[in-house]
Structure 1
């Protein structure tokens, strides 16, 4: 896993999706190696690893108590951050309409909220934790399509700073991922952008999509294509920006070399006239200008 990726995980029942999540948390040790930014998770202490992971399961976990306590159990965040997190998941208006606001009561298991609202509260809590890895274990499997769309929008707009791993029940929730991992029998059988996977008509992922029928398969294919095009455009823009920076650096170096050559000739000619104070003054000015170009002053 590397920084800023949205990864979808699909597979039939028993393919190993839950086992993979358990392995990431090191509830079980994998036979292979799981790395985060190139670092094997086996070398990371369990407390450090688990406190830097957030997970939202299919049945979201809320505690009896205030909404504030559910959002910020250790009371580390000021009210303005709590309200911002609620606004980010589009729950702030709902909470403001309650007389108790942040102190409003959360029933047993969040029973006074809808399933979708409970998921959004968990998303707000994950935002406040600022972890770099968020795992959704079929979190939208039981919500209606409208709430699913809201959750997906929140994930892409507010969690673009971290790795989001989505174990999918509905394929449309992972079609705009950076990559999709297809599991079968505990093994990774495919791993690529969904658009690329769909180009292999005999592949496992293509088979999953085709089973939804031609109309839905075409729609999902279009979603994957549009996402793929956006990624390509971003990569092209980044490449162009990097090339511009390189060209500017090379131009700055050429200018600096020209200034040094001019300075060397100037010092030599003035030194021959023994006008030492004049030479020192201009030498200082040129050195100062060079320092500004290099950004050292």
Structure 2
């Protein structure tokens, strides 16, 4: 993990080296201060005048000033070092999530992913800014001070070294206990984050079904469990820190005791004993700060592991073939079989369909028949198996896996029944696929989609639509989505019940716009309201991931089969 973090931003390595230098400077000021204090005390005990220690006191003051400056610089240097890593992590993680696409995102919960994207990366501050530089500085500082003690007195040096060797043993013991409790804490944190986000996004539904009180009780129960996990984790950390303090106190006491014995035996001077007293604590201080830095950043380990799991997630393989096209393309599904994760029944079962260039094909059937899966596979939100046992999807005879994803999706415009608008202006949402669209092109798309209402908004095209477009009605959001697809002007059009949220007064006009839009384009119409597919060139009736009927609207009605029953059921319900 350390190597990966350092490789993210080459500049951070130089900043960390500077940070290590500052930490060693701080250690040096403590050691120098200890030496000067020992020298001062030795002179006072020897009965020398106060004037003899004035320059020593001045040296102590200078060292304290230097240390204060180094401590102030350490904080800013630590923030700059960790900020560089966080910036690069966010950039790569965001790019990877966008590359993985909705198929990968649907495997987990939004809140859990967001906790990794936001809070997981924030843990870098403690790990990179404190732990990593302190690890190097503690090793160099402890070795340097211990070596100095060896020079003063080899016996004391061995004693201090033996006690210092106990310090690495403590994290090995505590880590076995902490690993499980820390994992439980992080799972609880992610779960609580996801549940609270879920409740916040579904607030209207909870209120409508009078379920907000029950959900509040559930959240309180989760919060209480998370609190217990946090307390259990902190209890181990406190015991560990107590163990560290005990080892430091033991090392100092043993070193001082051995020094006193050697002083009585005449093997050590008073000055030497005072130096040992002052420097023994300085030998343990870098190690103590290392352990404190390690445990303050311990939560970073599972958090960063979650981040790297996303970064290491395999991407769908991309092809590199680009074929020049002229006119609308042909689309073919050849024996496609696809099963969603954690499901046993296939969403598509050896599904075969050929859509001729410029043909308008409607996919109909009951919910769960596999209609939306057809569109998702065409866009490569999901993939069939790579060994072709799951079939293949082609555009003009070329397997879509041989096309670059960006090229593939540039060929397809989508209008979905679940319209998503981003928190931004109307113009921003319209030009999502074509940021360079001219005002004339935007206006033409607005007219074709019967979205003239945008000019009546408070700031016109500059009006902010709110999160998910909540400042607009469902029909207004749908018409902006239709205008967005018109503006993209792609040769393949996927309409997933594009008029589902449009009021009856405007449905006829918008349907005429869509009919004009489909002209000269290969179109897949995923239809739930069968009244919208009467003019389709061909109607495909699906059930259980297979085609059970196909033909035009009139012929299928005359056949009195599955399609006729669907139409009768809808007309009866109406």
Shorter-normalised TM range: 0.5 to 0.7
Moved more, 69-78 or 24-33: 24-33
1:155 aligns with 2:514: yes
Of 422, 425, 441, which residue of structure 2 is paired with 1:66?
425
Shift in Å, 1:183:
0.8
Question: What SS is found at the alignment partner of 2:535?
Answer: coil
- TM-score, with length taken from structure 2: 0.35
Determine which structure has the larger helix proportion and give its number: 2
Shift in Å, 1:180:
0.8
Output the CA distance in 2 between the equivalents of 1:96 and 1:213: 37
Output the CA distance in 1 between the equivalents of 2:485 and 2:542: 26
Determine which structure has the larger strand proportion and give its number: 1
Of 564, 567, 570, which residue of structure 2 is paired with 1:206?
564
For 1:281, the equivalent position in structure 2 comes to none
Output the CA distance in 1 between the equivalents of 2:450 and 2:439: 16
Change in Cα spacing, 1:161 to 1:45, as seen in structure 2 (3 Å) is same
For 1:78, the equivalent position in structure 2 comes to 438
For 1:6, the equivalent position in structure 2 comes to 360
Q: When the two structures are aligned, how many residues end up with a matched partner?
A: 214
CA contact (8 A) 2:496 2:526 kept: yes
Give structure 2 stretches of 5+ with no counterpart. Answer: 1-354, 385-389
Output the CA distance in 1 between the equivalents of 2:357 and 2:476: 28
For 2:369, the equivalent position in structure 1 comes to 15
Output the CA distance in 1 between the equivalents of 2:507 and 2:415: 14
4+ runs of 1 displaced by more than 4 Å? 213-216
Output the CA distance in 2 between the equivalents of 1:14 and 1:193: 22
For 2:382, the equivalent position in structure 1 comes to 28
Matches within 5 A, 1:125-140: 125-140=484-499
CA contact (8 A) 2:430 2:484 kept: yes
Change in Cα spacing, 1:83 to 1:184, as seen in structure 2 (3 Å) is same
Cα RMSD after superposing both structures: 2.3
Output the CA distance in 2 between the equivalents of 1:6 and 1:56: 15
Shift in Å, 1:170:
0.7
Question: What SS is found at the alignment partner of 1:34?
Answer: strand
Output the CA distance in 1 between the equivalents of 2:408 and 2:508: 30
Output the CA distance in 1 between the equivalents of 2:406 and 2:530: 33
Cα deviation per residue 1:107-142 (whole Å; 9 max; x = unaligned)?
Answer: 221122211111111111111111111212233334
Output the CA distance in 1 between the equivalents of 2:504 and 2:545: 30
CA contact (8 A) 1:197 1:206 kept: yes
Give structure 1 stretches of 5+ with no counterpart. Answer: 217-297
Output the CA distance in 1 between the equivalents of 2:564 and 2:424: 46
Of 80, 89, 95, which residue of structure 1 is paired with 2:449?
89
Cα deviation per residue 1:143-193 (whole Å; 9 max; x = unaligned)?
Answer: 433343333121002331312322111110111111111111111122222
Shift in Å, 1:215:
12
Matches within 5 A, 1:114-133: 114-133=473-492
Output the CA distance in 2 between the equivalents of 1:70 and 1:128: 11
Question: What SS is found at the alignment partner of 2:392?
Answer: coil
Change in Cα spacing, 1:108 to 1:205, as seen in structure 2 (3 Å) is same
Change in Cα spacing, 1:14 to 1:98, as seen in structure 2 (3 Å) is closer
**Higher relative contact order by CA 8 Å / sep ≥ 6: 1 or 2?**
1
For 1:171, the equivalent position in structure 2 comes to 530
Shift in Å, 1:36:
2.7
